[in-house]
Amino acid sequence: MITMQELREHYRFTDGDAELLLSLQSLAQEHLDSFSQEFYDYLYGLPDTAAILNKCNRVHLRQMHNTWFLSLFSGIYDNHYLSHLVRIGHAHVRVGLNVHFVNAAMNQVRHFLLNLIDGSYHDREQRRLLREAVEKMLDMNLDVMGSSYREEEMKKVFLSRRVESYLITATERFTFGLNLILVLALAGLSISVVCLFVWDIGHIFQGNIEKGILSALGELLILWMMIELMDNEIKNLKGGKFNILIFIGVIIVAIIREILISTLRHDDLTTQGFLAGTLLILGIVYYLVSLAQKNMTKG
């Protein structure tokens, strides 16, 4: 956190400025009631600030504002004064006062003090020096009070980012795990298809050549698509893109195999026609998706 000395250096607030503010102390005390009246007339004129004020102890709140106002002209601006401003800022945050109204209220204080100086001092150079000292002090007050709001926002953002980061990481790991399981499952199924292929080859040596060849051909098609699926999933695990054409191709191969088996079973024409129509529709879908992917790649 910034120190009062650093704050003074950043705003070029000198010991001379502190002495100038101290010289305004009696004038501020003299017009304290006037300040308080104008300040609260302004605050009660705003629905948002009036709603907050109505929930607070008005007497205590007015005393606090008067104490803060007079502290502007104490002439002592150290880290104790800085802590006092920080507590005021946190109080504003706790009551739910929007930082916009803190800025607006400070602007009201600024106008009151500048008008008070202009009406009380006739020497132009003296007025300039006093006005600059007041401007610096109010800006430092506003800076410190506003930092309380920034700290509160940072806490919310920090917590939100931590939760968001945790959820994203957990989801990514879960998805990666599912993809890994899918690859292992595809590997297991591929082994099963190889076993089925060997079984169908056995039909050829048993004399059932037609059934063996057609069934083995179907298994080879499925094995080929299983390889494509596994390759697609491995690319996905490495951060590659999902390719929907592979999955459409798997369905097409499954339908082709079913047509081959249907031919061996000598199914009726209705069943074979249905399978052929399904294959035609899937072929059209495959073509349209492939065309769309090419257009996206060109774009």
For the chain, domain boundaries: 4-161, 206-298
How high is the pLDDT of residue 149? 73
CA dihedral 44, 50, 52, 54 (to 10 degrees): 90
Q: Which of 143, 56, 59, 66 is nearest to 91 (CA)?
A: 56
CA 84 distance to own-chain centroid: 34
Q: What is the pTM of this model?
A: 0.52
For the chain, the 3-state helix, strand and coil shares in percent, each to the nearest 5, are 85, 0, 15
Backbone angles phi, psi at 25, to 5 degrees: -60, -50
CA 248 distance to own-chain centroid: 36
Per-residue pLDDT tens listing for the chain (299 residues): 678 888 899 999 999 999 999 999 999 999 999 999 998 889 888 888 888 877 777 788 888 899 999 999 999 888 888 888 888 888 887 777 788 888 898 999 999 999 999 999 989 999 999 999 999 999 999 988 888 776 765 565 444 456 655 665 677 677 767 777 877 887 787 788 788 777 777 767 776 666 667 667 777 777 777 777 777 767 666 655 566 677 677 777 777 777 777 776 677 778 878 888 888 888 888 788 778 777 766 65
State whether the Cα torsion 50-56-62-64 is positive or negative: negative
Cα atoms found within 13 Å of the Cα of residue 253, Cβ hemisphere only = 20
**Burial class of residue 52 in the structure, from the number of CB atoms within 10 Å of its CB (0-12 exposed, 13-18 middle, 19+ buried):** middle
Count Cβ atoms below 10 Å from residue 131 Cβ, excluding itself. 17
Q: Write out the DSSP string of 49-82.
A: HHHHHTTS-HHHHHHHHHHHHHHTTSS--SHHHH
CA distance 70 to 26: 9
Record the tokens describing residue 298, joined without a space.
């060109």
CA distance 289 to 165: 35
Q: Which of 179, 183, 182, 160 is nearest to 171 (CA)?
A: 179
How high is the pLDDT of residue 211? 65
Domain at 4-161: CATH code = 1.10.490.10
State whether the Cα torsion 188-193-199-202 is positive or negative: negative
